[in-house]
Amino acid sequence: MVRPGEILRGFSRARRTAALYGTAHPVAKQTLGEVHAAIQEFLTDRHSVRFFMHEETFFAGKTVLLEESLRLPSLLADLREREIGMIEIQEGLEPAELSRLIEVLTASPEELRRHGGAAAVLLMQDVRHVRIAAVRAMSPDDETGLRVDPRDVYRAGLRMIDDLHFQAARDLPLDMKKASLVVSSMIEVMADDKAALQGLAVLKHYDESALHHSVNVTILALLIGVQSRMERPQLMTLGLGALLHDIGKVRIPREILTKPAKLTDDELAIVRRHTLYGAHLLRNLAGPSRLAMIVAFEHHANFNLSGYPRISMKSAPHPLSRIVQVAEFYDAATHSRRADHRPMLPSEAMTFVATRAGEIFDPDAAHIFVRAVGRYPVGSVVELDSGELAVVLRPSERDPSRPVVKIVQDLAGDAVPIRTVNLDESARVRIVRSLDPTETSIDVAVHLPSS
């Protein structure tokens, strides 16, 4: 199924080939044909698709196209330079009309102005199935009901942290504007559905990706912030701190970071320097974002300051550092797979957080985290006292130990009637234990709606 963002990426490719060869060249014609086919497929069951540009962001109708906003900055800039704020493609679009649209997108801004603007040029060329409008401010109606696809946000987060690591490794300025766009979108998704991003965060299949880890920690830290009723400016600062908490690892040799065996004492000492390197890399951030430097420095310090690096000038780490530490521990503990130990089950990690609250973990942050994520977090595989196995879909609003689950099979691996049960409302059913998904025949990804 074609996504609206694929059409935008097609526009970008077509612009490049048209600028190099002209729209009549075989290479450009092939690209235009592919874009036209994608548009035709997308418009199979609808009359039109409308792209709207505002500041640094693309929208398709009421959907924020976050990934394309990050991937296609040159397209955004060129549209703005040509004073194009909206493009609507209607069903019945002819290949020749698409070609003329691409010609308009590659024409010089001065040429378009001489002919009355992009919309006037298309009108003169008898393009009837494309409508273009000028850049304008977003109206309250535009902002009402905006949707952000959780999968789009997660992918954009991976891309963003990859870009930030690239920039940090080469001492380039960090693109905090785009990072802020990703964090803001995560907050929007959580306002609509707190469990949606959690579902994506558990589907890492135990890889050692620093990109996934940073995105997952951001999701979990924001969940604590949202449950703490933080104001949006505080949530933005928390999210940026979480996204950048491990940025210092770009200074650690990769062979140490990816070593599958237990680290030596010397290697462990090198890894621990990432907190110092991170603080140094973030030292030039301005405004509230500067707190990201503190988070990078303190996120392994522990609530009682028993961790690293040693801190002697204060009685406890910064509150944002304490939140990020809880999130960081949980994701690392449940996903890190090395030769010397297996990852914790989500329920085991939650128990550890709860029992070490007030010592390693900030007691308030730990309590809120357990309440928000649940004793059996989203994506956990659990055995019920009925002898059936289930996947946890979302935490309970009342009791952390009684989530909403999807029953998928019995202990022997045989099929059972698949059904969703809210354990809060089913007093006769209870969870017996958690199971390692890798030791069952259950593919968790199949059962989580957000995946």
Give the domains, in start order, of the chain with CATH numbers. 4-143 (no CATH), 149-373 (1.10.3210.10), 381-447 (no CATH)
420: which strand partners?
Answer: 406
The percent of the chain in helix, strand and coil, each rounded to the nearest 5, is 55, 15, 35
* Tokens linked to 235: 């949530």
Taking alpha carbons only, the member of 215, 194, 101, 148 closest to residue 5 is 148
Tens place of pLDDT per residue across the chain (451 aa)? 888 999 999 999 999 999 999 989 999 999 999 999 999 999 999 999 999 988 788 999 888 899 899 889 899 999 999 999 999 999 999 999 999 999 999 999 999 999 999 999 999 999 999 999 987 766 666 666 678 888 889 989 999 999 999 999 999 999 999 999 999 999 988 888 878 888 787 765 444 467 889 999 999 999 999 999 999 999 999 999 999 999 999 999 999 988 888 899 999 999 999 999 999 999 999 888 899 999 999 999 999 999 999 998 899 999 999 999 999 999 999 886 555 567 899 999 999 999 999 999 999 999 999 999 989 998 899 999 988 999 999 888 888 889 999 999 888 878 888 999 999 888 788 999 999 888 888 888 888 876 5
Instruction: Count how many Cα atoms sit within 13 Å of the Cα of residue 260 in the half-sphere of its side chain.
Output: 4
**What is residue 222's predicted lDDT score, i.e. its pLDDT?**
96
Tell me which DSSP letter residue 264 carries: P
Residues 6+ apart with CB under 8 A from 18: 28, 32, 102, 103, 106
* Tokens linked to 338: 């090395």
Rounded distance between C-alpha atoms, residue 327 and residue 438, angstroms: 23
Rounded distance between C-alpha atoms, residue 173 and residue 85, angstroms: 28
* Tokens linked to 184: 């803001």
Which residue shows structure tokens 């040429």? Answer: 111
3-state SS class at 179: helix
Q: Locate the DSSP E strands across 190-331.
A: none
- Cβ(297)–Cβ(309) below 8 Å: yes
pTM of the full structure: 0.84
Residues 6+ apart with CB under 8 A from 80: 53, 135
Which residue shows structure tokens 């234990």? Answer: 433
* Tokens linked to 8: 């935008």
